[in-house]
Amino acid sequence: MSEFNKKLILEDGSEYKGFGFGADRESVCEIVFNTSMVGYQEIISDPSYTDQAVVMSYPLIGNYGITDEDFESKMVNLGGLIVREVNENPSNFRFTRTLTELLQDYDVPGIYGVDTRKLVRSIRDNGSGKVLITDISTDTESAVKRLKETQLRRDAVSRCSCKKRWYARTTNPRFNVVAIDCGMKMNIVRELNAHGCNVTVVPYNTSPEEIMKMNPDGLFISNGPGDPEDVPEVIATLRSLRGRLPMFGICLGHQLIALSYGAKTYKLKFGHRGGNHPVKDLSTGKIEITSQNHSYAVDEASVPGTGLKVSHINLLDNTVEGLCSEADKVFSVQYHPESAPGPQDSTYLFDRFIENMTGNIHSENGGR
């Protein structure tokens, strides 16, 4: 095997050597890991990973290539992709590009040949932090100094959100849903359409007045990247519309709903990213296996007195996974019921949103 030509340098000075693929450039970003065995295309095209270098813990990535139908957004905003082994000869009659070609097309640097088991353990033990993907010749001391001096961007939602409203209509619609786009995955839109909803997707900074002019039956708040406190515009909008529309939030949307009610959020040590997280529904006692991708969580101690109650908990670390307000017809989950990739144990939550819109007595248009 030829000599390594790329390496990762972490804030603690540790190095992980490998071979470059994809875009040939440097990148400074936050390093995180995902434990999913499949679904790498959906992960790469999920806006929630904006500016993050994703370590795939499964050792062989790229087996089935890239298809035109499986993107979760029209953009790929990864800071980098880190894998043990990349497959350059996919086996899939649907594939149109290799993983390497996708990264080249979207200017995303990748590195393979890395000891990902050791790297994931390091992130688990020390927490996520900044990483430099660079040439093998880069001096470690100067790289660590650069990492410490670099401030990561905090405008990810504004870059991921649509710039103007767009529509996703379905046959025989029963409801009109406005979806606030903080970096929304396409499978969420597909699920809403499949449940009889015409969807109007609006930019994250759309005002409450503009939303109500669209005559919605319900409001959806999407997933997205970064710290929920970086988008106060959405928090203010949700606070203004509370009790006027049924609301459903996923991932970042869940955190934004919590903040709009006065609860607090905090950053997890290394986040939840994978397709096998067990979550307990406290109302039924049932366990769901869920797909997750987030760095922040709602502080359970801050929930009492807000008007919200905890509806779901994570069985791995007891963090908050769901909130609800029956009086306001508001609920949210930290995980991804639409999956893509992942299990589909939780798609019933879309049915719950439909039920809330069906029985809505708060909406100014009276429901439908």
- The pLDDT score that the predictor gives to residue 203 is 99
Residues 322 and 215 reside in one and the same domain: yes
Last residue of a domain, one of 149, 180, 202: 149
CA distance 112 to 102: 15
**Would the CA dihedral through 272, 50, 220, 275 be positive or negative?**
negative
- The pLDDT score that the predictor gives to residue 368 is 42
Last residue of a domain, one of 149, 181, 204: 149
What range defines the domain where residue 317 resides?
156-358
Does residue 368 belong to any structural domain of this protein? Answer: no
**Token pair for residue 201?**
């997707």
Does residue 264 belong to any structural domain of this protein? Answer: yes
CA distance 137 to 168: 49
- The pLDDT score that the predictor gives to residue 341 is 76
CATH assignment of the domain containing 293: 3.40.50.880
- The pLDDT score that the predictor gives to residue 1 is 54
CA distance 153 to 155: 6
- Is 336 considered catalytic here? yes
Residues 217 and 163 reside in one and the same domain: yes
Catalytic one of 254, 277, 294, 336: 336
Residues 122 and 194 reside in one and the same domain: no
Does residue 85 belong to any structural domain of this protein? Answer: yes
Q: Are 110 and 101 in contact (CB under 8 A)?
A: no
Residues 163 and 310 reside in one and the same domain: yes
pLDDT in tens, the chain (368 residues): 579 999 999 999 999 999 999 999 999 999 999 999 999 999 999 999 999 999 999 999 999 999 999 999 999 999 999 999 999 999 999 999 999 999 999 999 999 999 999 999 999 999 999 999 999 999 999 999 999 999 999 999 999 999 999 999 999 999 999 999 999 999 999 999 999 999 999 999 999 999 999 999 999 999 999 999 999 999 999 999 999 999 999 999 999 999 999 999 999 999 999 999 999 999 999 999 999 999 999 999 999 999 999 999 999 999 999 999 999 999 999 999 988 777 778 888 999 999 999 977 444 444 44
- The pLDDT score that the predictor gives to residue 342 is 74
Exposed e or buried b for every residue in 222-237, given b needs 16+ CB within 10 A? bbbbbbbebbebbbeb
Residues 91 and 222 reside in one and the same domain: no
Q: Which residues lie closer than 8 Å to 208 by C-beta, 6 or more apart? A: 237, 240, 241
Count how many domains the chain has.
2
Does residue 338 belong to any structural domain of this protein? Answer: yes
Residues 141 and 187 reside in one and the same domain: no
Residue 117: closest CA among 57, 52, 61, 62: 57
Last residue of a domain, one of 149, 174, 209: 149
- The pLDDT score that the predictor gives to residue 366 is 40
**Token pair for residue 228?**
């929920």
Does residue 364 belong to any structural domain of this protein? Answer: no
Catalytic one of 30, 251, 254, 294: 251
Q: How many CB atoms lie within 10 A of CB 167?
A: 8
Residues 111 and 172 reside in one and the same domain: no
- Is 29 considered catalytic here? no
- Is 338 considered catalytic here? yes
Give the orientation angle of helix 252-260 with respect to helix 232-241, to 10 degrees. 60
Residues 74 and 56 reside in one and the same domain: yes
